[in-house]
Amino acid sequence: MDEQPIIQIKDVHKYFSDSIHALRGVTLDIYKGEVIMIIGPSGSGKSTLLRSINNLEEIDYGDIIVDGFSVKNHKDINKLRMEVGMVFQQFNLFPHLSVLNNIMLAQKIVRKRSEKDALKNAMILLDKVGIPDKANAFPAQLSGGQQQRVAIARALAMNPKIMLFDEPTSALDPEMIQEVLEVMIQLAREGMTMAVVSHEMGFARAAADRCILMDAGKIVEDAPKDELFTNPKEERTKLFLSKIL
Amino acid sequence: MLPKNNKEITNKWLNKNLPQVGELSKIDPWWGLVLIVLALIVLLLVSQPDPYQRILNFTEDGIWITLLVTLVSSVLTLVLGLFGGLGRISKNKVIYGIVSLYVEIVRGIPLLVQLLVWYFAFPAIIAQAGIKFNIPAFKNYLANPVMMAIIGISVCYAAYMSEIVRAGIESLPAGQMEAARSLGMTRLQAMQYVILPQAYRTIMPAIGNEFISILKDSSLVSVVAVSDLTRRGREFMSTTFLPIETWTMVALLYLLMTLISARIVNIVEKKTKMDK
Ligand SMILES: Nc1ncnc2c1ncn2[C@@H]1O[C@H](COP(=O)(O)OP(=O)(O)O)[C@@H](O)[C@H]1O
Ligand SMILES: [Mg+2]
């Protein structure tokens, strides 16, 4: 891959307080169409790294450039965010809006699409995530797996160039994990650039290109997924994999 | 037989705050109290037109003034309180500082004193400034009692309303704002379309209570030359020397107004909850 990375993370530091140094010099390039899986123990900074990419966390040092927009340039932050879809562990659907309106709201007020276009797009996406029959339901009436699929559709509706997933299946009952992973795998096959924090080996096997292990705010190992899982170089990686596999 | 009935009634009354689907169509038992108070007033008017009919006739314009002051103050309080609440969660330190100072000061001074300031001190300040800087319009400034009363109540109550709005917004999970921002919405758009519509549902009962408090506290404006129900009652008493009859009637009229307001608030509340 000789072209420019679509995300450039350059020596990023993040402090939550003097004593909490959540990111300690993270450098990472993500190329168009790549699916990156980020693993690591709890508290290692995975969420903070992901949330820094769309500036939900403001970084203290270094820079992140997403499709030409820097997170340091606050004027363009909403433009940057339009290009980056995010899926949260807790779904974060808007409970006062129907499924359709959840997917249409930002299309209308951020992308300035007409009601008709937004609706058409929303129905296509609901079809894609497999729940067109829930269009008029409210989030509280859906199962966790269905809610997460709506959340994915809501993010996709903005036509992002990159999708970030922060433990998208961790809050789900086991029987619902697969339906969400299938949507994500499908998305990866279609060529979406994705950064996924997850320990789901099923997804890693089916869709990941590269895998990154984080520990204590740093990237410990960054390797093609087959190498990282079968032949890890670092002791930290071996130790961590022995715990989760 | 009796204990069972009693239990049923208690249960019904206990459940009043837990709205169930379809309950709106049922008749709310609290309307019974409204009817009792209304019946009491009618009974007094019919059985002893003198003095009760006379009291009602004399204070009628006061009732309208009380309702006017309450209504306009409530709307202003809501609008100011909304901005105050947004100011209290503002990331801008200057806005946050100014609004917080306002809330602290206003909450530390009794409403009656604030009304006296607005009616007596504020116009005096304007007049003196007019003399000092030679502005004729200011020199002859005369305070309109109703306007000053409305300003006084709104400025005071908006401070409390700000805290209600702030608490309502802060009660929502942080993920709601984050999801909205991650979709590219500005903070203002997220507030307008995602945060406030949800906060409204949780703070609706508190807002309703504030409106009813405004109705009751509006009686304080009687000391700053506003001819509201309370002031008209006092005027009637001082010419007729009928304290018992006058204040019985005035008290019943206030009770009727607050009870009806409480029912209206209750209906709106249930409707909001059912929309969910
Ligand atoms: N909002 C916050 N305030 C203070 N500390 C935080 C906050 N968010 C995360 N942290 C701390 O930053 C570190 C990294 O957290 P996080 O990125 O959530 O880790 P992970 O997602 O890998 O579990 C942890 O020590 C965590 O306690
Ligand atoms: Mg995390």
**Percentage of chain B modeled with pLDDT above 90:** 76
Dihedral (C-alpha) B143, B144, B145, B150: value to the nearest 10 degrees? -110
SS in 3 state form for A32-70? CCCEEEEECCCCCCHHHHHHHHCCCCCCCEEEEEECCEE
Q: pLDDT band for position B15 (50/70/90)? A: very low
Q: What ligand is nearest to the CA atom of residue A240? A: 1
**Tell me, what's the pLDDT at B188?**
92
Contact A94 B194 (CB under 8 A): yes
Which of B60, B62, B69, B79 has the alpha carbon at shortest distance from B111? B69
Q: Does the distance separating the beta carbons of B198 and A79 come in below 8 Å? A: no
- B48-86 tens-digit pLDDT: 998 999 999 999 999 999 999 999 999 999 999 999 999
Ligand 1 binding pocket mutation candidate from A12, A48, A220 (most atoms within 8 A of CB): A48
**What pLDDT is stored for residue B87 in this prediction?**
96
What mean pLDDT is predicted for residues B153-158? 97
Q: How does pLDDT run across B94-142, given as a tens digit for each residue?
A: 999 999 999 999 999 999 999 999 999 999 999 999 899 988 888 888 8
Backbone phi, psi, residue A184, to 5°: -65, -40
**Does residue B244 carry a pLDDT above 50?**
yes
Measured CA angle at B94 (ends B92, B100), to 5 deg:
100
Q: What is the pLDDT of residue B275?
A: 62
CB atoms within 10 A of CB A182: 16
Contacts of B204 in chain A (CB under 8 A): none
Rounded to a whole number of angstroms, the distance from the CA of A138 to the nearest CA of chain B is 8
Per-residue confidence (pLDDT) for residue B141, from 0 to 100: 83
Q: Facing residues of A239 across strands?
A: none
pLDDT of residue B26: 64
The whole-number average pLDDT for the span B198-218 is: 94
Nearest-CA distance A85 → chain B (Å): 7
Enumerate domains of chain B plus CATH numbers: 61-272 (1.10.3720.10)
B118 Cβ contact list (under 8 Å, min separation 6):
B143, B148, B149, B151, B152, B155, B224
pLDDT of amino acid B24: 52
Bridge partners, residue A13, by sequence: A24, A61
**Spatial separation of the C-alpha atoms in residues B42 and B37, rounded to whole Å:** 9
Asked if the C-beta of B171 comes within 8 angstroms of chain A's C-beta atoms, the answer is no
Compute the distance between CA of residue A238 and CA of residue B130 in angstroms, rounded to an integer.
82
- Which residues from B are below 8 Å from A92, CB to CB? 173, 175-176, 178-179
Retrieve residue A168's tokens: 């998208």
Show which residues on chain A lie within 8 Å of chain B, measured between beta carbons. 54, 56, 78-79, 81-82, 84-86, 88, 90, 92-96, 105-106, 109-111, 138, 140, 151, 154-155, 158
Q: Which of B178, B185, B197 sits opposite A96 (nearest CB)?
A: B197
Q: Phi and psi of A170, rounded to 5°?
A: -70, -25
pLDDT over 80 (residue B2): no
Chain-chain contact of A92 with B176 (C-beta, under 8 angstroms): yes
Q: For B253-274, what is the mean pLDDT? A: 90
Cα–Cα distance measured from residue A30 to residue A53, given in angstroms and rounded to the nearest whole number: 11
Q: How far is the CA of A86 from the centre of ligand 2 (A)?
A: 13
Work out the percent of chain B whose per-residue pLDDT is above 70: 89
**Per-residue model confidence (pLDDT) at position B215:** 97
Residues in chain A with pLDDT < 50?
none
Q: Tell me what pLDDT residue A224 has.
A: 92
pLDDT at residue number B6: 44
Chain B residues with CB under 8 Å of A56 CB are: 178, 181-182
